[in-house]
Amino acid sequence: MATSDLITPAPNTWCPGCGNFAIEHALKDVLTGMIDGGTPREEFVLVTGIGCHGKMADYLGINSFYAIHGRTIPVATGIALANPDLRVICCAGDGDCYGEGLEHLVFAAKRNVDITLIIHDNRVYGLTTGQYTPTSPLGFPGRSTPAGSPEYPLNPLALMVATGASFVARGYSRRLPQLRQLIRDGLSHRGLSFLEILQVCASFFNQTAYYDEHAYDLDPSEFPTRDVDRALRVAREWDYSTDSRIPLGALYRTRLPTYQEHLAAHRAGTRDPASAIRGFLDERR
């Protein structure tokens, strides 16, 4: 199947200047390369949450499960368990994945399930028009917190390194070549790939100038590392609230047996249902 139709004809409704366009095109470019390189197109599955980011399901011409708010990860886990050969990608929002469905994120890392998470972190609820999220800075004047958010933000990178994600990286919607590389690395990594993407929301939290000024690339000769302490130090360099430099790139990678590999090892061969049932009944007589 040709890759020319990887962008569907569905009308695009993102705001002009939205960082989602860059993520969409980075993902499309990576998929094009992989499909042209021989990976069958039907082996890719995209799972999205509900939010502006979720529209990726309508816009990309691959298998997709447009799920519900906060629940991309359990759906993706179910798909990956049913068929470990599939390449399962989640596009989730920050409200979606760090708020409504945070428990699933922690468990995905803990299990090292072989899926690729792309978090469209615009640090705001886009689709519901501008409330604070778990990664909004302290004092963020969202529509539900007009006097300023009274909460400290969550540091998703530190959380993921600490809970066992085996590939952890941060990208930025205005650094396209790096973004492509991170997605490519995430898809080829076996285990949980966690890609936190700083995504510009043109309408409700436009941080373009701030990110452009503060972001820097990690030295590829030193990162990603398998050293958890070093990775945590880098993850903590920016706390999502106070002014500091913002490291971009992969900071942690290790190869651990995946959830699917563990489960497959527990399972033994097939037996037809009737004989399994007969065996059980015989034990009961």
Ligand X SMILES: Cc1ncc(C[n+]2csc(CCOP(=O)(O)OP(=O)(O)O)c2C)c(N)n1
Identify the residue among 116, 122, 149, 155 touching ligand SF4 (CB under 6 A).
122
User: How many residues line the site for ligand SF4 (CB under 6 A)?
Assistant: 11
Where would I find the H helices in the chain? 20-36, 56-59, 72-82, 94, 102-111, 156-163, 176-188, 208-214, 228-235, 259-266, 273-283
DSSP 12-50: P-SPTT-THHHHHHHHHHHHHHHHHTT--GGGEEEEE-S
User: Of the two residues 52 and 179, which places its CB atom closer to ligand SF4 in the complex?
Assistant: 52
In angstroms, give the least distance from the CB of 21 to ligand SF4: 8
Report d(CA 157, CA 103) in Å as an integer: 15
Under the criterion CB under 6 A, does residue 126 sit at the interface with ligand SF4? yes
In angstroms, give the least distance from the CB of 53 to ligand X: 4
Report d(CA 58, CA 175) in Å as an integer: 24
Under the criterion CB under 8 A, does residue 45 sit at the interface with other proteins? yes
User: Of the two residues 140 and 223, which places its CB atom closer to ligand X in the complex?
Assistant: 140
User: Of the two residues 51 and 186, which places its CB atom closer to ligand X in the complex?
Assistant: 51
Stretch that binds ligand SF4, among 11-19, 166-174, 216-224, 274-282 (CB under 6 A): 11-19
Under the criterion CB under 5 A, does residue 196 sit at the interface with Mg ion? no
Among 226, 192, 195, residue whose Cα is nearest residue 108? 192
The option from ligand SF4, other proteins, Mg ion, none interacting with 94 (CB < 5 to 8 A, set by class) reads Mg ion
Q: How many residues are there in the chain?
A: 285
Under the criterion CB under 5 A, does residue 48 sit at the interface with Mg ion? no
Under the criterion CB under 6 A, does residue 202 sit at the interface with ligand X? no
Under the criterion CB under 6 A, does residue 125 sit at the interface with ligand X? yes
E-state strands within 192-231: 193-198, 215-217
Stretch that binds ligand SF4, among 13-21, 35-43, 215-223, 239-247 (CB under 6 A): 13-21
Among 191, 121, 187, 194, residue whose Cα is nearest residue 159? 194
